[in-house]
Amino acid sequence: MGAYFLVPVAAALEFALRGPNGTHSLAAFRDIAAQPELVPMLTVSLRIALGTLLITVALMVPTVVWVHLRLPRLRPLVEALSLLPLVVPVVVLVVGVLTAFADAPNLIKGTPAILALEYVALAMPFSYRALDAGVSAVRLPTLVEAARSLGANWPTVLLRVVVPNIRTAIVGSALLTTALVLGEFTMASLMLFDTFPTWMVRVGQQQAGVAVGLSVLVLLTSWALLLALSIAAGRPRGATSLFRRSS
Amino acid sequence: MTAVTARAVRQQQAGTPVELLGLRRRYGAVNALDGLDLTLVPGELLALLGPSGCGKTTALRILAGLEQPDAGRVLVAGQDVVGLPAHRREMGMVFQQYSLFPNMTARDNVAFGPRVRKQPASERRRRADELLELVGLGSHGDRYPHQLSGGQQQRVALARALAVSPRVLLLDEPLSALDAQVRAQLREEIRRLQRELGITTLFVTHDQEEALSLADRVGVMRAGRLEQLGPPEQVYHAPATPFVAEFVGAMNRIPGRVVGDGHVEVLGQRLEYAVDRLRSPGAPVEVLIRPEAVLPVPADAAATVVSRSFLGPVTRISVSSPQGGLVLADVSSVEAAALAPGTAVAVQLRRHPVLVRDPR
């Protein structure tokens, strides 16, 4: 199982290190730092990621909490709905989004901001499941009723009781979302936006070693983040499943 | 210390009257409450007792504002609170499940209510410490819930409920997750605190021993209605219906026969019975008799002792009798020494009125 993930990574790493005539060197990694577009492109993608996860948290936390408290019987249905973005082809999503936002102000449809809106949907299978697992792990109905009987209104209940107790799940879904944004090529490319992944593909057409080295770095960084998360959460089993879903 | 602290904790709640009037609540095909009327006298501890599904928890949750009734009124201090959301009802509640906020220390849990009410930090801390002291956990303020035992968690939950100076205290089977010894101890403490603070308290339980030992009055519920409401002694010794008789305490059902003028014949003896409706002489009935009203006496008779189990001060004897089937008797453990299994006995019944019901 581990080999299934590790062999391609090792192969990519070996390719990035490969120099002319069978030699190996760190030249490709030195070239990464020299790319003038590295920082701007990374900034674009990180900003999209930030927007995506802000919208995701603001939208998904209340949704998941509400489903758990008031509509527990609909949980399977909502879970199935959250998986739809995995089933619907990205091309269809793109066309759908372009139609839906045809009349939106240019600030949204003409800038990568629209990508954040799309990535919220694209990340839903991951963010919903991470939050759902986190909420299931605490006795939410009782905690909420206790807080209400002590005089807390709904906003206070959410901020003081619900969010602190599902913090790990929120961080988890945020990380998964970030990892997704940093690796999403198809949609950005189809919408003719330049983001970190599309830039990486472009670089790869000229300097394969640099692009592959970069992708190895991104991969290892997101793994390190997930690992840190799983250690912080102290739940090895949950961590493994997060790990697999992100790969 | 407790008297002083208790006085400090007791603020405006000098005991609030509560009235539930004609409450109805239906879940799909199930009638959880079928026109429940219940009045709580200021400062009393009223226990609602009943089998699961009888509607007792629904009644408590409607009073708390966590459920809405389909019909009926809830009056607290004379005001209808049905439209009022839970967080504005000023009630303290302790749940069956552990309900402390896992991300907060015991002190912060207790201070949550005052904090939501925007009391200054120093004051709410002082009050939290005072209440933790009151429930005997003064030195545990910095512990997190997972560092506390089940009994300690429920004590903190009690302190947390009291921290908001509630008008009414609602206890939803707060002891049922605890083991027997802790349960008995905490039961006493709840009683002591409730007396000292004089808070009107509704206590919901399916444990008859808990209800009888704790409450000023016990309400026995069945199928969404009150079957009987009265002091524990009355509910136990003078059950209003066969259901109450059988639900509260152990009960023998012995076949007998009506013999006219308010008497039944059972195990060859004539006993007066509480006449609930006209029965013709000779009608077969089941006679309800408490084990402590049965006296097996060694004699050359047809009944024999089948088994004997020691319960401490009393010993429960089962006797097999040709007319009555298996009959349970509670006798003092001293007398039980003469009643080894296999002993032939005569079964005598104490002469006080009994309840009868139609045979199933």
- Could you report the predicted ipTM of this complex, rounded to two decimals? 0.79
Q: Give the pLDDT of residue A242.
A: 40
Classify residue A148: in a domain, yes or no.
yes
Classify residue A21: in a domain, yes or no.
no
**A21 alpha-carbon distance from chain centroid:** 39
pLDDT at B29 over 90: no
Which residues of chain B have a Cβ shorter than 8 Å from any chain A Cβ?
64-66, 85-93, 95, 97-103, 112-113, 116-117, 157, 160-161, 163-164, 170
pLDDT in tens, A45-63: 888 888 998 999 888 998 9
pLDDT class of B229 with cuts at 50, 70, 90: very high
pLDDT in tens, B285-320: 989 899 999 999 998 888 999 999 998 889 999 999
**B190 alpha-carbon distance from chain centroid:** 13
The per-residue pLDDT of chain B, averaged, comes to: 89
Instruction: Measure CB to CB from residue B103 to each of A146, A151, A165 and give the nearest one.
Output: A165
Task: Look at A143 and B113 and tell me if their CB atoms are within 8 Å.
Answer: no
Task: Look at B87 and A151 and tell me if their CB atoms are within 8 Å.
Answer: yes
Q: What number of other Cβ atoms are within 10 A of residue B147's Cβ?
A: 12
pLDDT in tens, B46-88: 999 999 889 999 999 999 999 999 999 999 999 999 989 999 9
- Interface probe with B: pick from A150, A157, A159, A165, most Cβ of B within 10 Å: A150
Distance from A168 to chain B by nearest Cα, in Å? Answer: 12
Task: Determine the structural domain holding residue A86 and report its residue range.
Answer: 35-206
How many residue pairs from chains A and B have C-beta atoms closer than 8 A?
71
- Interface probe with A: pick from B88, B104, B108, B116, most Cβ of A within 10 Å: B116
**B256 alpha-carbon distance from chain centroid:** 31
Note whether B272 and B262 are within 8 A (CB). Answer: yes
pLDDT at B128 over 90: yes
CA proximity to A128, closest of A78, A87, A175: A78
Residue in chain B closest to A139 (alpha carbons) equals B99
Span A96-124, average pLDDT: 81
Classify residue A15: in a domain, yes or no.
no
Tell me the chain A residues in contact with residue B66 when contact means C-beta distances shorter than 8 Å: 145, 148-149
Distance from B86 to chain A by nearest Cα, in Å? Answer: 6
Classify residue A29: in a domain, yes or no.
no
Question: With b meaning 16 or more CB within 10 Å and e meaning fewer, what string describes A199-224?
Answer: bbeebeeeeebbbbbbbbebbeebbe
Classify residue A247: in a domain, yes or no.
no
DSSP state of B13: -
pLDDT at A247 over 50: no
Classify residue A92: in a domain, yes or no.
yes
Tell me the chain A residues in contact with residue B88 when contact means C-beta distances shorter than 8 Å: 151
Task: Look at B86 and A145 and tell me if their CB atoms are within 8 Å.
Answer: yes
Query: What is the share, in percent, of chain A residues with pLDDT greater than 90?
Result: 10
DSSP state of B273: B
pLDDT at B2 over 70: no
- Domain count across chain A: 1
Task: Look at A148 and B92 and tell me if their CB atoms are within 8 Å.
Answer: no
Q: Give the pLDDT of residue B13.
A: 47
Token pair for A9: 């990574």
pLDDT in tens, A69-104: 888 889 899 989 988 888 888 888 888 888 888 787
Tell me the chain B residues in contact with residue A143 when contact means C-beta distances shorter than 8 Å: 99, 101
CA proximity to B319, closest of B332, B308, B310, B331: B308
CA proximity to B27, closest of B56, B58, B1: B58
- Residue B296 to residue A98: CA distance in whole angstroms: 90
Span B325-346, average pLDDT: 91
Classify residue A212: in a domain, yes or no.
no
Classify residue A20: in a domain, yes or no.
no
Task: Look at A139 and B101 and tell me if their CB atoms are within 8 Å.
Answer: no
- Residue B208 to residue B235: CA distance in whole angstroms: 10
Span B350-356, average pLDDT: 81
Span B190-201, average pLDDT: 91
DSSP track, A60-115: HHHHHHHHHHH-GGGHHHHHHHHHHHHHS-HHHHHHHHHHHTTTS-HHHHTSTHHH
Residue in chain B closest to A138 (alpha carbons) equals B102
Span B113-123, average pLDDT: 92
Q: Give the pLDDT of residue A232.
A: 66
> pTM for this structure?
0.78
pLDDT in tens, A155-209: 999 999 999 998 888 888 888 888 888 888 888 888 888 888 888 888 888 877 7
Amino acid B22 reads G
Q: Give the pLDDT of residue A243.
A: 39
pLDDT at B258 over 70: yes
Distance from A141 to chain B by nearest Cα, in Å? Answer: 9
Span B333-339, average pLDDT: 89
Span B221-229, average pLDDT: 93
pLDDT in tens, B80-90: 999 899 999 99
pLDDT class of A138 with cuts at 50, 70, 90: confident
Note whether B171 and B94 are within 8 A (CB). Answer: yes
CATH label of the domain that carries residue A116: 1.10.3720.10
